[in-house]
Structure 1
Amino acid sequence: MRKSRFTEAQIIGMIKEQEAGMPTAEVCRRHGLSPATFYKMKARYGGMEVSDAARLKALADENA
């Protein structure tokens, strides 16, 4: 699987920017990604905090 160029913390930060009221197109332009990629990341990491994402990664590594 291809490694993401963004960390979980960066992805969650982008999602929080969009939820705070910044238009999605502006968030995507600032960070250099497509809206489709943004919405895929939002579906995976939406509603999470950084600690939740770290715990999820640790569980995935443990199960691998």
Structure 2
Amino acid sequence: MKKRYSDEQIIKAIKEHEAGAKVEDICRNLGISNGTFYNWRSKFAGMEVSEAKRLRELESENNKLKRLLADKLLEVEAMKDVLSKKW
């Protein structure tokens, strides 16, 4: 089962580590692997909660735009196929 953690929880865990808490203890308390913690740290280290929320919003918007672009490129290819057929 995959748990979702809020930006606040992630940043709090990183700040605990920066304050001297052991990674193993933090991971045990949250029920996550060391790898997950280090992924969080590489992505969110030095951020405040508002910055992390903005990052998630931008990532979501970017994914939406990528999907729209892919759809439009498929439409263009389909139109090229239709127009290239001999009648």
The answer to whether TM tops 0.5 is yes
Question: Aligned letter for 1:45?
Answer: F
Q: Normalising by structure 2, what TM-score?
A: 0.63
Q: Offset of 1:60 from its aligned partner?
A: 2.3
Mapped to 1, the partners of 2:28 and 2:59 lie a distance apart of 31
Q: Normalising by structure 1, what TM-score?
A: 0.83
Counterpart of 1:18 in structure 2 is 17
Aligned residues: 62
| C-alpha RMSD of matched pairs (Å) | 1.5
Say yes or no: does 1:30 pair with 2:29.
yes
Paired-residue identity, % = 47
Counterpart of 1:55 in structure 2 is 54
Mapped to 1, the partners of 2:3 and 2:29 lie a distance apart of 17
Mapped to 1, the partners of 2:54 and 2:3 lie a distance apart of 18
Question: Aligned letter for 1:9?
Answer: E
Residue deviations 1:11-45 (CA, integer Å, cap 9, x gap): 01110111111111111111111111110111111
Taking CA–CA contacts closer than 8 Å with sequence separation of 6 or more, which of the two structures ends up with the larger relative contact order?
1
Gaps of 5+ in 1: none
